Each structure stands twice: as structure tokens, then as C-alpha cells.
Amino acid sequence: MNLTIFFTSEPEGWYTAEILELPWCVSYWETLEEAKEMIKDAAIWYITSLKKHGEYVPIIKKESFISLLSLHETI
């Protein structure tokens, strides 16, 4: 299973990691390496817990990509 992780560098210096295909699967850690490891653990726990309770695993299948928009020339 391949999942898309979106990392955000927060103003206070920590990192937020979100799995786009798993709603509400979010992790927040001091370093990027910690955020990478912990979001993996969060995804495993999230899916395991849903399966254990007989709940639907809400994997949203969508094509996604990341693009950079530069406004330097227009501002």
C-alpha cells in the first residue's frame, strides 16, 4: 500500500505529517526524521484499529501531486 504523506514545517520549528489518503491520520514531531517514523507508526495503528473493530478503512484513492507556485515575478 502506497500512501501520500504531506509534511509541513511549523513556525515553532516542529513538523506536521499528514497522510492524505487516511483522514485524521496526523502526527506532529520535533524533527523531520521523527515525523517520518511516527507517521508510519500512526498509519499502522490507525488501519489496525479500524480492522480490529470491524470498521471500514477509509482509504481515499485519488491522484495527487505537488506543485510549486512562484509569485516572485508578479508581486
Cα distance from N-terminal residue to C-terminal residue, the chain:
42
Does residue 41 register a pLDDT over 90? yes
Q: State phi, psi for 18 to the nearest 5 degrees.
A: -130, 140
- Looking at the structure of the chain, the number of domains it has is 1
Q: In sequence order, what are the residues at sequence separation of 6 or more whose Cβ sits closer than 8 angstroms to the Cβ of residue 1?
A: 59
CA 45 – CA 1 distance, rounded (Å)? 15
> Confidence class of residue 48 from pLDDT cuts 50, 70 and 90?
very high
For the segment 5-19, the average pLDDT, to the nearest whole number, is 92
CA 52 – CA 58 distance, rounded (Å)? 14
State the pTM of this model.
Answer: 0.70
**pLDDT at site 74:** 56
**pLDDT at site 20:** 85
CA 42 – CA 37 distance, rounded (Å)? 9
| CATH number, residue 57 | 3.30.160.250
What range does the domain containing 1 cover?
1-75
pLDDT 10s digits, 51-74: 999 987 766 666 666 666 667 665
